[in-house]
C-alpha cells in the first residue's frame, strides 16, 4: 500500500505555540477533535513537533478544521516527479473498453502515513497534542444520512445518460486516421471542430472557440477566416503537427491560401506560420459547415454586452449553438438557408 512520506532531511523539529481561539469556537474545536479521534483519523501525540490549528467557516455556516502546516512545508523536500498532462492521459484511453471511477470521502485523510513521519503532522489546540494516524480510515465512508432518489432525479439521470451516449459524443484520437479540421469565423468570434472519419461517420475529437477582440472585429472577412485557421491550428498543434490533415473552410478564396502573391505584414507572418504544417484545403458550403459556424457564434459570457447586442442585431436565438451541437439534423434546410442569408460575414 502507498504510504505518504514527509521528508524533512536533517532539519530539527518545529514546535509552534497554539493560537488562542474565541470562546465561541473552543467547544467546536474540541468537538471536531473528538469526532476525528472517534473516527480513527487522529490520535494523541507526544513528539517534538507541533503546528497550530485554524478554524475556517464554510459557506453553509459549518466549521472546517484546518492545520497551519506552512512552517512544515517550508522545510519539506519536494518531489520533482512530473505530473502528466490530462489531455495526454485522456488520449491514452483510446481502445479501452472498460472504465471505472473511484472517489473517497475526505481522501487526504485516507492516505497512510509512514510511522516515523506521523509525529510531524502533530497539531495543538491548546488542550492537547494530536497527530494523524497511519491506519487507513473506514468509518468515514459510512453513510451519515438517507438520500432520497426522487422521480425528478431519475428523469435527470436518464437524460444525462442519453446525452452522454448519443451523437456528438467526443471520441479518442486515432493515430491511424487522418485528422479533419473545420474552421469558421463570424463578427463575434472564431470556432473549430477537430474530427476523424471512423467508418462512415465523422466523429468529433475536440471543439475550440474564441471571442474576437475589438481590433479583430474590424478585420475583413478573409482576414477573419484566416485568423480562425491560424488560431485553430495553433490550438490543436499537439494533434496536427507532423501529420497531414484536411482543413475545411466555407470561405472559397482561402483554397489558394498558400499561393497568395507577395503577402505582406500580418498575413505574411500567418502564412509563414502555417507552412510548418502539412494540410490540404477544401472548400465546404456554408450549409454543411454548421458545426464550426455555431462555435464561432457562441457568446463568451452571459453578461457580455457585445454578444447580447450582436444576438439582438442578427436575430439569433439563444439556443442556436445547442441545436447545432446536439445533432446534425437539428435544423431544417430552410432554417439553415435563412441563417446563412442573415450571416453578415
CATH number at residue 190: 3.30.420.10
- Report yes or no on 328 lying in a domain: no
Distance CA 122, CA 161 (A): 46
- Residues 174 and 244 grouped into a single domain: yes
- Report yes or no on 280 lying in a domain: yes
- What is residue 179's predicted lDDT score, i.e. its pLDDT? 95
Residue 206's Cβ-side half-sphere holds a number of Cα atoms within 13 Å equal to: 18
- Residues 211 and 114 grouped into a single domain: no
Give the residue numbers spanning the domain of 38.
Answer: 23-95+105-132
Q: Are residues 50 and 122 in contact, defined by beta-carbon separation less than 8 angstroms? A: yes
- Residues 110 and 202 grouped into a single domain: no
β-strands 179-185, 3-4 pairing: unpaired
- Report yes or no on 337 lying in a domain: no
- What is residue 323's predicted lDDT score, i.e. its pLDDT? 35
% of the chain with per-residue pLDDT over 90: 19
- Output 241 or 43, whichever has higher pLDDT: 241
- Residues 173 and 293 grouped into a single domain: yes
- Report yes or no on 313 lying in a domain: no
CATH number at residue 117: 3.10.10.10
- Report yes or no on 154 lying in a domain: no
How many domains does the structure of the chain reveal?
2
In whole angstroms, how far apart are CA 106 and each of 5, 64, 141? 19, 12, 9
Using the predicted structure, report yes or no on whether residue 135 has a pLDDT greater than 90. no
- Report yes or no on 210 lying in a domain: yes
Mean pLDDT, the chain, rounded, equals 79
Q: What's the pTM value of the predicted model, to 2 decimals?
A: 0.51
- Residues 171 and 277 grouped into a single domain: yes
C-beta atoms surrounding 72 within 10 Å: 20
- Report yes or no on 222 lying in a domain: yes
Closest by Cα among 250, 316, 339, 328 to 286 = 250
- Report H helices in 166-300: 214-217, 221-235, 237-240, 265-274, 290-296
Q: Give pLDDT tens digits for 157-216.
A: 888 888 777 766 788 898 889 999 999 998 889 999 999 998 888 889 999 999 888 899
- What is residue 327's predicted lDDT score, i.e. its pLDDT? 40
- Residues 179 and 126 grouped into a single domain: no
Q: Are residues 310 and 187 in contact, defined by beta-carbon separation less than 8 angstroms? A: yes
Amino acid at each position: 500500500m502507498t504510504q505518504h512520506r514527509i521528508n524533512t532531511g536533517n532539519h530539527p523539529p518545529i514546535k509552534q505555540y497554539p493560537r488562542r481561539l474565541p470562546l465561541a469556537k473552543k467547544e467546536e474545536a474540541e468537538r471536531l477533535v473528538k469526532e476525528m479521534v472517534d473516527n480513527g483519523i487522529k490520535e494523541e501525540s507526544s513528539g517534538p513537533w507541533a503546528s497550530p490549528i485554524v478554524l475556517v467557516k464554510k459557506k453553509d455556516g459549518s466549521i472546517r478544521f484546518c492545520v497551519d502546516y506552512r512552517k512544515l512545508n517550508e522545510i519539506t523536500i519536494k518531489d520533482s516527479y512530473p505530473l502528466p498532462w490530462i489531455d495526454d492521459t485522456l488520449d491514452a484511453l483510446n481502445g479501452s473498453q472498460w472504465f471505472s471511477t473511484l472517489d473517497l470521502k475526505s481522501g487526504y485523510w485516507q492516505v497512510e502515513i509512514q510511522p516515523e513521519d506521523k509525529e510531524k503532522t502533530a497539531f495543538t489546540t491548546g488542550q492537547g497534542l494530536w497527530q494523524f494516524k497511519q491506519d487507513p480510515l473506514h468509518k468515514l465512508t459510512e453513510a451519515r444520512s438517507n438520500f432520497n432518489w426522487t422521480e425528478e432525479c431519475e428523469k435527470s439521470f436518464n437524460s444525462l445518460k442519453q446525452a452522454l451516449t448519443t451523437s456528438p459524443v467526443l471520441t479518442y484520437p486515432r493515430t491511424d486516421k487522418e485528422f479533419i479540421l473545420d474552421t469558421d469565423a463570424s463578427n463575434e468570434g472564431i470556432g473549430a471542430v477537430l474530427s476523424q472519419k471512423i467508418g462512415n461517420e465523422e466523429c468529433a475529437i475536440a471543439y475550440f472557440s474564441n471571442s474576437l477582440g475589438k481590433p479583430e472585429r474590424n478585420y475583413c472577412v478573409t482576414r477573419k477566416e484566416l485568423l480562425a485557421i491560424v488560431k485553430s491550428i495553433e490550438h490543436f498543434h499537439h494533434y496536427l503537427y507532423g501529420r497531414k490533415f484536411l482543413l475545411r473552410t466555407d470561405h472559397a478564396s482561402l483554397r489558394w491560401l498558400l499561393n497568395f502573391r507577395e503577402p505582406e505584414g500580418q498575413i505574411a507572418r500567418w502564412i509563414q506560420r502555417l507552412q510548418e504544417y502539412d494540410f490540404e484545403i477544401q472548400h465546404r458550403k456554408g450549409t454543411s459547415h454548421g458545426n464550426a459556424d455555431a462555435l464561432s457564434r457562441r457568446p463568451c459570457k452571459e453578461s457580455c454586452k457585445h454578444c447580447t447586442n450582436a444576438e439582438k442585431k442578427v436575430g439569433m436565438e439563444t439556443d442556436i449553438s445547442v441545436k447545432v451541437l446536439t445533432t446534425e439534423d437539428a435544423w431544417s434546410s430552410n432554417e439553415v438557408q435563412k441563417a446563412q442569408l442573415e450571416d453578415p460575414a
